[in-house]
Amino acid sequence: MKQICVVGVGYVGLVSGACFADLGNRVIALDIDEKRVENLNKGIMPIYEPGLDELVERNVKAGRLSFTTSYEEALKGAEFAFIAVGTPSGVDGDADLQYVASAARAVAENMTDELILINKSTVPVGTGDWVANIVKEAQVEPIGFSVVSCPEFLREGSAITDFMNPHRTVLGSQDVEAAEKVAHLHLPLRAPIVITNLRTAEMIKYASNAFLATKISFINEVADICEALGADVKEVAVGMGYDKRIGPMFLDAGLGWGGSCFPKDVKALAFMAEEKGLDPKILNKTLDVNYIRRDMVVERTTEMLGGNVKGKTIGLLGLAFKPNTDDMRDAPSIDIANALNTAGASVRGYDPVSMDVARDMLPAVEMYDDPYSMAKDCDALVVVTEWNEFKQLSLKKLKGLMKKKPVIFDGRNIYDPAHVRELGFNYRGMGRGFNGTGI
């Protein structure tokens, strides 16, 4: 059993801390947000993540996991301290490192024994060296420490599975012995471990997320070509995915990506490149293609409603940026709803888990407790988030509730176009041959 401190009980810190505890370690998770810590001690989660509440409860009861606001308490006896605080985007796309700096400084001021400090937050290349300097300057007295980069690769909605079954663990440090000690923490996961230097490890995280984001933007651009030529992008993606050099994942055409990782990381990597005098053309185009999708939804829904949405009632099926999360950060629903409201439409919304978060972000959207009540008297429905619940809806019932000539714009391609049209809907998906064969 190792003694671990985790600084930050947001998405990454809470999942990582609970999982390390479940592997048999003693974990004290710290956050400066007193209300968040108070709620966690009561068993109230700050985020929605499938299975997280049970995981936290089990390890708290076993005495392996606890929560505090005290750095002194969290660091007492700790061999490892993970920094897992937020690094939001700045105005120009650069990562805001104020919370990382604050955490590093507080660790330095409160550590009493040698410590391995591990950057779990997604941070710009070079941050590990910067953190080391902060710790040296802030220490009350010189105490030995090492800095290790251990970037996270957790997907919201499947974070626990991703932690426990990683494709690889990436570690970077100038101190190989420290990196090997952190590697030992991850040995029970039985996954490949890559040990490199600090800056390379930091770069692996950005390059990985930027590549996946680019893959999504690529298939979305292909979807537009498919639509113009009468091909079906879903079948194209299947045919591509069988090629092991390409693979099937991240080839779902739709509204593009949102959330806290891809937008921030692609912007940050582009910013770092530009700071060095480079021109990151692919990264910038990846961003452009992604955000154009949101405007496209509004334009095409407007076309399907006769060229004007003023006075029309439009329901959004899904608000979170992806299924199995309540995360509304950079969610496509925000831009879509705001654009429709601005154009004079009355916008409704339904999401299985994110409506409490969405209400404050979308005050002009009327929220409903179930999709059928939302659909009543709607002129159009827009599929924004591909929740499994929406795949099982009775389309026949929806048609009976909606106004005459009901419209469905399927922004996630979850329905069969021929079937939906047979039921009498004016249906359109993303890249499903609309301008060609009409499949």
Give the residue numbers marked as catalytic: 261
| Angle, alpha carbons 249-195-135 (nearest 5°) | 110
Whether 127 and 100 have beta carbons less than 8 Å apart is answered as yes
Phi first, then psi: give them for residue 160, nearest 5 degrees. Answer: -65, -45
Q: How far apart are CA 439 and CA 357, in angstroms?
A: 37
Q: Which H or E element spans position 403?
A: none
The C-alpha atoms of residue 116 and residue 148 are separated, in whole angstroms, by 7
Separation CA 32–CA 37 (nearest Å):
8
> Residue 87: how many CA atoms within 13 Å on its side-chain side?
26
Sequence-ordered list of residues with C-beta below 8 angstroms from that of 377, at least 6 positions apart, any chain? 313, 401, 402, 403
Report the alpha-carbon distance of residue 223 to residue 217 in Å, rounded.
10
Is the CB of residue 204 less than 8 Å from the CB of residue 151?
yes
Q: d(Cα 14, Cα 29) in Å, to the nearest integer? A: 7
Rounded CA gap, 332 and 295, in Å?
Answer: 10
DSSP state of 89: B
96 CB-contact burial (10 Å; exposed 0-12 / middle 13-18 / buried 19+): middle
Q: Which residues lie across from 317 on neighbouring strands?
A: 350, 383
Kind and range of the H or E run holding 412: none
Segment (H or E) for 342: helix 332-342
SS3 content of the chain, % helix, strand, coil (to 5): 45, 15, 40
CA 267 to chain centre: 15
Closest CA to 18 of 84, 103, 76: 84
Question: 86: which DSSP letter?
Answer: -
Using DSSP, state whether 116 is helix, strand or coil: strand
